[in-house]
Structure 1
Amino acid sequence: MFITNRGEIEGRLDPIFHHPLYKQLEEKLKQASSQLDYLSNYIISFDTGKNLPQTDEGIPYLRTQNVRMIFPTLEDVSYVADTTNIKKTQNGDLLFVRVGVGVGDCCVISENEANSAFSDNVIRIKLKPGINPYYVATYLSTYIGRNLFFKGLKGSGKPVISRENIDAIVLPILSTETQSKIQADIFAATTQYNGKLSEAATMIHKVDFTIAKLIGFEFPEIVDKKTFVTKISELENRIDPHFYLPGFKDLIDNIRQINHAQLGDVVEFSNETWNQKDGFENEFPYIEISEIDLTSGKIQNISYIPISEAPSRARMVIRTNDIIVSSTRPHRGAIAFINEQQNGFIASTGFAVLRKLLRADISKEYLFYILRTQICLQQMLQRSSGGSYPAITTEELKKIFIPIPSPEVQQQIVVDIKAFIDKAEALKAEAKQDLEKAKQEIEALILS
Structure 2
Amino acid sequence: MSQPLFFEVKSEKILSRLDANFYHNPLVDEFIFLCKKNKVNLENFGEYIESAKRYPSFYGIPYLPEGVICFKGEAIDKDGFIIDEELSYIPEKINRDFPDTILEEGDIVFSVRGTIGKIFVVTKEYVGSNISANLIRLKLKKGNPHFLKYFLMSKYGQADIERVSSGSLQYTITTDDIDSIKIPEVKKTEQDRIVNKIFKIEEEKVSFSKKYNSSIENLKNYLKTKINPEKKNVFIIKSQEIKDRIDCYILSYELKKLLDDLSKLKESHDLFNGKDLDIVNRINEKEFKKIATNEFKYIEVKHSSRQPNLISGFMEDVLMALPSRARQIIRENDILLPRPTLSTEKIVIVPKEFDGQLCSTGFIVIRPKDFDDACLTTAILKSPLVQRQLFLMQSGSIQPEISPNDFKKIIIPSPKSKTEREEIIKGFKDELKNVEYYRQNYNKKKQEVEDTFWKEIII
TM-score normalised by structure 1 residue count: 0.72
Q: 1:133 to 1:253 in 2, by over 3 A?
A: farther
Q: 3-state SS of the aligned residue for 1:438?
A: helix
Q: CA deviation at 1:220?
A: 1.5
Displacement of 1:146: 2.9
Could you tell me whether the CA contact under 8 Å between 2:308 and 2:347 is conserved in 1?
no
Counterpart CA distance in 1 for 2:450 and 2:179 is: 23
1:137 corresponds to:
149
1:150 is matched with 162
Question: Does structure 1 residue 45 correspond to structure 2 residue 59?
Answer: no
> Are 1:219 and 2:225 counterparts?
yes
Distance 1:88 1:251 in 2: 49
Query: Which residue is 2:117 aligned to?
Result: 104
| Letter in structure 1 aligned against 2:346 | A
1:141, 1:18 → 2: CA distance? 20
CA distance, structure 2, for counterparts of residue 95 and residue 327 of structure 1:
33
- Equivalent of 2:275 in 264, 267, 287: 264
- The code of the aligned residue for 1:38 comes to N
* Greater CA drift, 189-198 or 327-336: 327-336
Maintained 8 Å contact 1:285/1:304 = yes
Q: Using a 3 Å threshold, how does the CA distance of structure 1 residues 79 and 386 change in structure 2: closer, same or farther?
A: farther
Partner of 1:324: helix, strand, or coil? strand
* C-alpha deviation, 1:126, in angstroms: 1.7
1:186-197 aligned at under 5 Å gives the runs 186-197=198-209
Which of 26, 30, 38 pairs up with 1:24? 30
1:300-358: CA deviations, max 9, x gaps? 123679x9xx99xx8463320454333444586112234563866463x7x4423568x
Q: Is the 8 A contact 1:323 1:355 kept in 2?
A: yes
Contact between 1:49 and 1:117, CA under 8 Å: does it hold in 2?
no
Q: Deviations over 1:375-431 (max 9, x none)?
A: 4224435556999x9865555543332234579776885565334312321221012
Question: 1:317, 1:344 within 8 Å by CA — same for their partners in 2?
Answer: no
Q: What is the one-letter code of the residue matched to 2:73?
A: T
Contact 1:219-1:251 within 8 A present in 2 as well: no
1:65 counterpart (61, 74, 77) = 74
Residue of structure 1 equivalent to 2:247: none
Q: 1:23 corresponds to which letter in structure 2?
A: D
Helix, strand or coil: the match of 1:219?
Answer: coil
Cα distance between partner residues in 1 of 2:84 and 2:284: 34
CA contact (8 A) 1:263 1:399 kept: yes
Match of 1:367 among 367, 374, 377: 377
2:300 corresponds to 1:287: yes
Aligned position for 1:90: 103
RMSD, aligned α-carbons: 5.1
Residues 305-320 of structure 1 mapped to structure 2, 5 A cutoff: 315=325, 317-320=327-330
Residue 399 of structure 1: SS of its match in structure 2?
coil
Percent of residue pairs bearing the same amino acid type: 15
Q: How far apart are 1:239 and its partner, in Å?
A: 4.8
CA 1:242/1:184 → structure 2, altered by over 3 Å: closer, same or farther? Answer: farther
Local SS of the residue matching 1:318 = strand
Note the 1:167-186 alignment, pairs <5 A.
167-186=179-198
Which 5+ residue runs of structure 2 have no aligned equivalent?
244-249
What residue is the counterpart of 2:453 in the other structure?
442
1:376 is the counterpart of 2:369: no
Alpha-carbon distance change, 37 to 145 in structure 1, aligned in 2, over 3 angstroms:
same
Give the letter for the 1:170 counterpart: K
1: CA distance, partners of 2:301 / 2:348: 11
Shift of the 328–88 alpha-carbon distance from structure 1 to 2, 3 Å rule, reads farther
Residues 63 and 392 of structure 1: is their aligned pair in 2 closer, same or farther, counting only changes over 3 Å? farther
For 1:324, the equivalent position in structure 2 comes to: 336
**2:85 maps to which of 75, 78, 82:** 75
Residue 327 of structure 1 contacts residue 392 of structure 1 at CA under 8 Å; is this kept in 2?
A: yes
Partner letter of residue 112 of structure 1? Y
Change (3 A) 1:259 1:444: same
Q: Which amino acid aligns with 1:57?
A: L
In 2, Cα distance between the equivalents of 1:324 and 1:124? 37
Q: Distance in 2 between matches of 1:67 and 1:175?
A: 28
CA distance in 2, matches of 1:30, 1:324: 49
What are the superposed Cα offsets for residues 281-311 of structure 1, whole Å, 9 maximum, x if unpaired?
Answer: 999956244x432133522123679x9xx99
Offset, 1:135: 2.0
**Pair 1:270–1:162, CA change in 2 (3 A):** farther
2:177 alignment partner in structure 1? 165
Q: Is the 8 A contact 2:215 2:435 kept in 1?
A: yes
Greater shift after overlay, 145-154 or 189-198?
145-154
CA contact (8 A) 2:268 2:415 kept: no
Q: How is 1:318-357 mapped onto 2 (pairs within 5 angstroms)?
A: 318-321=328-331, 323-330=335-342, 333-338=345-350, 341=354, 345=358, 347=360, 351-355=362-366
Q: 1:129: how far off?
A: 2.1
